[in-house]
Amino acid sequence: MSTPLTWSNLIAFATTGNPKPNRVVEKTESEWRAQLTAEQFYVTRQHGTERAFSSELCSRFEAGIYACVCCNTVLFDSAEKFDSGTGWPSFTQPVETNAIAYNLDVSHGMQRIEAVCNTCQAHLGHVFPDGPAPSRLRYCMNAVALKKQERAV
C-alpha cells in the first residue's frame, strides 16, 4: 500500500463509497454453509462476533499474511499486527486500500465502522480510531474470519 489509510479515509469510504475490489466472489447461503464451519458462517455471513480471547491468533506474531477465510483474499500482513489487549487480533492497516470495504454500523447503540472483505463481503470486525501511531487505526478482527498463511517468497 502506498499511502496509509486514516480515520478520515474510512469515514469517507463508509459514507460515499468503497474502493473497487480486484475481484468479486459471490456464493449462495448453502454454498457458504457447506464451505465454512458453523462459527465461521455465523461471524462472516451473519455479522456475528466471536468471544474475546477465544483464539490463539491474538497472541501470535509470527511473520505471515492473513487472508479472508471465505474467499482467500489477502487482507493483512503480520507486520501491521499489534497486541491491543482487546481479545481480538488487531492490525493498523490492510495490505491494500481496496482489500477491505467499510460500512457505518449503528447497532447496539454505538456508531462504529464495520470492516468487511471487499471481495466477498464477509464480516471481519470493526475499525476504531484508537490504534497506535502513525495511523491511529485499530482493525479489530474476528480470528475465525481470518486464515493465517506463510508469506510467499
Q: What pLDDT, in 10s, does the model give residues 1-34? A: 567 899 999 999 999 999 999 999 999 999 999 9
- CATH architecture of the domain 7-149 equals Beta Complex (2.170)
Extents of the domains making up the chain: 7-149
Residues acting as catalytic residues: 140
Torsion of CA 96, 145, 81, 125, to 10 degrees: 80
What average pLDDT does range 95-121 have in this prediction?
Answer: 91
